[in-house]
Structure 1
């Protein structure tokens, strides 16, 4: 079933834990010019810094590039309570976050997060008016059918935990993360087309992540709505070039 809403093209980056406070602040300032650039190309852009940098990043973006969305790298599934060390989705929303990255392969591998837990966090995001950016992907490179089978519960758990809210799925084949080249375009398009069918008429966007860079989107545009970038986008000029590519016809 074809979606009854526009599939906005989207480019974003997660800074993970690569930068310190000063470097993050500098990076945000260097990305300010991307705001009008993204508007002119009709591309949605987001940046996901570390938790400690969120307040300063929010202030800078609100003042100088309000169309650049601010995201967080995780959140807790409850709004408040005795949960030492966790971060409330209420607080993230009040800071100015509009999306939250959830279920990244690193969190699944290092911290044992599973589909049920990620779905609870997605519920917390939408409950607080934020968009879940849910990372999905298969561990090993095999057939399209096996990739779809492995990703299916990752997607259905999110769809069942939410209703009409928009979801962004970042398709990141685990075997392609950090590799010299992304997964083949033919493979990604085949997998994401199948995964999109699982979503029916729900508002979803599919981004590709996993060694994404120049030329990645052009080859995959029949399957995905944009890119979720990693270290390649640590250079704002690279970020600029990808936005231009994603926004081209």
Structure 2
């Protein structure tokens, strides 16, 4: 099944996030098909519960943008995976370059967060990507190492890998389709032992039209600012449905 996921980061105030979710729910009513496309929205922590309520009937899964590696204890300001699951979240984003760069998250911390996600029945959406332009072969090696560091030693479960070449995030144009295909193919072939438990989605400046160019090498898109209007999200969902049924 194709995946269409969106992180709102911290762009939206609370009201806009909830307006977005409500509008998305309305737009999905006539086209919702839970069997062909997995849809997910990852809002800020403060709107997870309300967003889950608005989007549940539309078949949209709710995710969080971070999780504490510990479930309980003296961890001021952190959010437990068990509480996220209780609020209705089923996905958690881990390892985004902004977390790595601004909050100095290292491989050990990211690994702990992946373990916490699986422990609490959440699907990790693990972000990986090379920091600068390089050959696709070298980029795939960087990504495979990041994934191995994150998952090794843990009881595994479903895993979404968001390939986001760091140099392409926020860029006017994403990496070339040939480059992305080569990297994602190498990742997929390396982790064949996961069978259907691993999905690879692309997230570097991803927007409408890109999935058609990358399909079926990738399983979907991880959207950002290009889907800040509900209609753009819907257009990618419709695109994914067409690809699934073609």
- Asked if 2 retains the 8 angstrom alpha-carbon contact of 1:100 and 1:131, the reply is yes
Of residues 76-85 and 207-216 in structure 1, the stretch that sits farther from structure 2 once superposed is: 207-216
Post-superposition shift, 1:178? 0.4
2:151 paired with 1:159: yes
- Aligned-residue Cα RMSD (Å) equals 1.4
2:191 paired with 1:210: no
Q: Choose which of 91, 94, 97 in structure 2 pairs with 1:102.
A: 94
Q: Choose which of 15, 18, 25 in structure 2 pairs with 1:22.
A: 15
Question: Any gaps of 5 or more consecutive residues in structure 1?
Answer: 1-7
Matches for 1:111-190 after TM superposition, within 5 Å:
111-190=103-182
Post-superposition shift, 1:38? 4.2
Distance 1:36 1:109, change over 3 A: farther
Question: Any gaps of 5 or more consecutive residues in structure 2?
Answer: none
- Asked if 2 retains the 8 angstrom alpha-carbon contact of 1:38 and 1:45, the reply is no
Post-superposition shift, 1:40? 6.5
Using the size of structure 1 for normalisation, the TM-score is 0.92
Using the size of structure 2 for normalisation, the TM-score is 0.93
Post-superposition shift, 1:35? 5.8
Q: Distance in 2 between matches of 1:105 and 1:34?
A: 31
1:37-79 alpha-carbon deviations (Å, 9 max, x no partner): 24167100000000011111122223x32x2000000000010
Q: Where do 4+ consecutive residues of structure 1 move more than 4 Å?
A: none
Partner of 1:83: 75
Q: Between Structure 1 and Structure 2, how many residues are aligned? A: 240
Partner of 1:3: none
Partner of 2:41: 47
